[in-house]
Chains A and B, each alone.
Chain A
Amino acid sequence: MIARAFRLFDELLRAPRKSADRAVMGRDLEPLVLAALCAILVGSGVFGGVLATSRGGAQLFYSATKLPLVLIATLVLVVPAFYAIAASLGRPLALQSAVGLVLAGAARAALVLVAFTPLVWLVLDLGASYHQGVVFASVCYAIAGLAALRLIFHGMGADVRGLAILACFASVMAPVAGQTAWMLRPFFGRPAEAHVPFLRPRESSFLDAVAKSARSSVGIYDLDPIQRWPCAPPDACGSRQSLQNGL
């Protein structure tokens, strides 16, 4: 059974077209789905654990648990959308084939993340800052996501219509995955915080966070509006104090 799972991992990485055909045809789907779930749990768990090495402690366990949760929760939410998109754009699939194809893609992404693990560990060990680490991890996610989409693209026929289905699906998948990850953060743990919680309270949204993180990575730090002025209302302050980038 383990040997078969490793053969399927190998197929997912080296012959994505074969895995895609297997999913679309619905042949031997159950072993493929089980192997894909294993790859997702282990692959993203390992990557999550490595992300937390800059912080260590309980955060290692938190991230190794939460990253697989993010992927699985996202898949649960987006598979019906993929099924509907494929059907409405003229490539109807059986529901089990849609599940198999998307899971195979996600498993491929998780395996690619495992491949990035040593590099991420090295970068963090060399002293990358919190924000640099976040950006580097985002690049890894993007590359892994492209690997997943390539497999799904093969399953959808690898033509213009397949590309349209893929584009629609990616436009659903990316924000859902981003928001799910945002809700289950932190994965690194902010350096300023003494204790890292399992979950942070909800604040703003994923898209706001992307913009903020991009600014922070180049040294422009935002402050909460309540912190921006030392007195309220601002007009009541004697002089405007510049508190920019005061984190």
Chain B
Amino acid sequence: MTLADLGILYVSAGAVSAFVVHRRGHEKGRRALLRALLAIPLWPLWLPVALASSHVSWSVSGETQGTTAAALLEGHEAVRGTPLEALLPREAVERILREVQRAGERREELRVLLERPSFGLDSARAHVERLGRDGASARTLASARLHLANVERLDSLRRRDELLLEELAELVSALRTQLVLARFAGSTPEGAGDIVSEVWARVEVLGTTMDDVPRFSDTS
């Protein structure tokens, strides 16, 4: 294979990448065209970034994730290289960030899923009630109830993740100020150990499966 062959292959891959970037992007017009054209010469660098950007929708919870991540990194930086680093080592920061990221993505997927009419909680409830009123067969009613129960569990999971992410954001924010205070005061941060334990408890819950999800809809 000559350098010219390699160049043709590279540009062909770039053209395909440009097409994909243009199709997957949310923007239209000249800016979208420029984003796509940039993929032709620079597809190995630009394609992952452009595709990742097209997936990101910074909702309120997304911002919460960003705040949590920033607070965690700032807290870690405050104690890095000091005896207090054991409270929030880099490995712990990375694991918490991974769990937060995963929970954030799952929450976003669930939000999109539950917005679909076929996964609507209200419509599923209304459907069960209507079947009951209309005197549907026991088997039909059982299937509709199973669908309702599944949608309720998905909704519970989404609400649990939202609640945990919000709690985690507040806890991490408090932990950061404790650690920064300890750094400038030159003392052991009182209560920081407890906050770290609380953070870990929530991170563990974020990693649990659907079987462990409490039925929020039943209690609310």
Whether A and B are associated in the same complex: the answer reads yes
CB neighbours (8 Å) of B66 from chain A are 25, 27
> Is the interface on chain A under 10, 10 to 19, 20 to 34, or 35 or more residues?
20 to 34
Asked if A21 is an interface residue, CB under 8 A from chain B, the answer is yes
Residues of B within 8 A of A (CB-CB), count? 19
Complex: how many Å from CA A80 to CA B53?
A: 19
CB neighbours (8 Å) of B73 from chain A are 21, 25
A76 pairs with B45, CB closer than 8 A: yes
For the complex formed, measure the closest distance between the CB of A192 and the CB atoms of chain B, giving whole angstroms: 28
B49 pairs with A96, CB closer than 8 A: yes
Partner of B49, one of A17, A72, A100: A100
CB neighbours (8 Å) of B202 from chain A are none
Most A Cβ at <10 Å: residue of B45, B52, B73, B90: B45
For the complex formed, measure the closest distance between the CB of A99 and the CB atoms of chain B, giving whole angstroms: 5
A157 pairs with B52, CB closer than 8 A: no
Given contacts A21-B73, A159-B90, contact A29 B53 (CB under 8 A): yes
CB neighbours (8 Å) of A123 from chain B are none
Asked if B44 is an interface residue, CB under 8 A from chain A, the answer is yes
Contact with A along B83-102 (1 / 0, CB 8 A): 00000001000100100000
Complex: how many Å from CA A29 to CA B46?
A: 11
A79 pairs with B45, CB closer than 8 A: yes
Asked if B42 is an interface residue, CB under 8 A from chain A, the answer is yes
Partner of B52, one of A29, A37, A76: A29
Partner of A25, one of B45, B53, B69: B69
Asked if A26 is an interface residue, CB under 8 A from chain B, the answer is yes
Q: Which residues of B contact A (CB under 8 A)?
A: 42, 44-46, 48-53, 66, 69-70, 73, 77, 80, 90, 94, 97
The 4 closest A-B CB pairs, nearest first, are A96-B52, A96-B48, A95-B48, A30-B53
Given contacts A25-B66, A33-B49, A91-B94, 9 further A-B contacts (CB under 8 A): A21-B70, A25-B69, A25-B70, A27-B69, A33-B46, A37-B45, A75-B45, A94-B48, A158-B80
